[in-house]
Structures are given as C-alpha cells and as structure tokens.
C-alpha cells in the first residue's frame, strides 16, 4: 500500500452522516490519548492531518478519512478519558457503539493500545466485542519509542496475555520514529484487497 491521497470526507455526529457509498471502512479504535490521531498522521505521512491533542479527549465526532479514494479509515473518539463528565462519557460510548453496531461497511479494525501499559478493562471489552462480531482486527502497540527493546518484549507479553491475542501478531508502533508503518500497510492491504 502507498497512501497517495487522503481527505476528510465527513465528521459524523449521528448515523445518518456515515458514508454510504459502499467503500470498505477500517476503524481506528483505542482509549483517549493512546495516539490514534498521531497513528493516522504517521501512516498517511502527513504531520498534521488528523489533529493531535495535548489535551486528551479532543476527537469527539467520528472522522471518516477516505484513502486513495478506495477505503475509509474511521477515527473513532477515544474512550475511557477520566476527566470528562459522566454525561459526555456516556455520549461518546453511545457514538462509538452506534457506529460499531450499525456500520454495514466495517470490515476491519486497528486496535491501539499504549505499549507501556496493561490494556484496560475497556480495551478488553472492545477486543472481545470485535472477536464476537467476527470483525477482523489488528492490535497495534503505540509509543514504542518510549521503551527499550527488552522492555518492549515484556510489554508485548502483557498485552498479548491481557487481550488474548498472539504476541507475534501485535505490531509495535511509533508515530515519532515511524516504526511499524510497513506492517500496518500489510494489514490494510490484506483487508482492502480481500
């Protein structure tokens, strides 16, 4: 895969706004501040395409980015951010669930977890949801530049055990160092070309 073009098609706040053009959609999922927007910027090779926030919880709508005019990357709002009101949290989880439950074109997902931390209960719920729905997903461990090589292996083991996914299948990723980008392209190709 080579990203030749990317464009924000729509920021959706309700399901009537989701694209309905038949193109495949691949969701980018993860808790708030895990590095979703930075991940998208890294794989599309643009520094400030998706907005990177200093303050967690910035991405609130569901952003549909159309890539090479052939598929969508869907940037979902991050879950699990502690500092927002209960009401807002509820609204976010409703937005995420509504998308996951109703999108007819969702065929793949990239599940982001921070390589330094044990995945949260919400992460486990999310992965179990994807497994139950039979949605093909790829786990990507972000911010790998923050760890030394041997620490990375230990962390990947914790993530693998907690999420019950094969350790070898987790992609360590760094937006900063652009590490793991090619492995992500391989995953995207496998979905888009299927």
Residues that bind ligand GTP (CB under 6 A): 30, 32-38, 52-54, 56-59, 78, 142-143, 145-146, 174-176
| Minimum CB distance to ligand GTP smaller for 54 or for 134 | 54
Residue 38 lies near Mg ion (rule: CB under 5 A): no
Of 49-108, binders to Mg ion (CB under 5 A) are 59
Enter the DSSP assignment of 78: P
Residue 37 lies near Mg ion (rule: CB under 5 A): yes
Q: Name which of Mg ion, ligand GTP, none residue 146 binds, using a CB cut-off of 5 to 8 Å depending on partner kind.
A: ligand GTP
Quote the CA–CA distance of 8 and 26 in Å, as a whole number. Answer: 14
Question: Two tokens at 65?
Answer: 């980015």
Question: Which residues share a beta bridge with 75?
Answer: 28, 63
Q: Which of 34, 40, 39 is nearest to 56 (CA)?
A: 34
- Give the number of other Cβ atoms within 10 Å of residue 35's Cβ: 25
| Minimum CB distance to ligand GTP smaller for 20 or for 90 | 90
| Residues contacting 35, CB < 8 A, separation 6+ | 112, 114, 142, 143, 175
Question: Two tokens at 51?
Answer: 């907005």
Taking CB under 5 A as the binding criterion, the range among 33-41, 119-127, 172-180, 184-192 that sits at the site for Mg ion is 33-41
| Minimum CB distance to Mg ion smaller for 19 or for 56 | 56
Closest residue to ligand GTP in the complex (CB)? 78
| Minimum CB distance to Mg ion smaller for 156 or for 184 | 184
């Amino acid at each position: 895969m080579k990203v030749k073009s990317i464009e924000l098609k729509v920021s959706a706040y309700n399901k009537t706004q989701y694209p309905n053009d038949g193109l495949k959609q691949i969701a980018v999922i993860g808790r708030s501040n895990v590095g979703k927007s930075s991940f998208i910027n890294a794989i599309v090779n643009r520094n400030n395409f998706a907005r990177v926030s200093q303050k967690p919880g910035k991405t609130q709508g569901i952003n549909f980015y159309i890539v090479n005019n052939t598929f969508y990357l869907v940037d979902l709002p991050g879950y699990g951010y502690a500092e927002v009101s209960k009401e807002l949290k509820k609204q976010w989880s409703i937005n995420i669930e509504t998308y996951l439950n109703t999108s007819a074109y969702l065929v793949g997902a990239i599940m982001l977890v921070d390589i330094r931390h044990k995945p949260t209960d919400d992460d486990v719920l999310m992965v179990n949801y994807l497994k139950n729905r039979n949605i093909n997903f790829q786990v990507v461990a972000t911010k790998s530049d923050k760890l030394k090589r041997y620490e990375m292996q230990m962390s990947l083991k914790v993530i693998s055990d907690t999420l019950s996914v094969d350790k070898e299948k987790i992609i360590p990723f760094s937006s900063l160092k652009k590490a793991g980008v090619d492995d992500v392209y391989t995953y995207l190709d496998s979905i888009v070309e299927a």
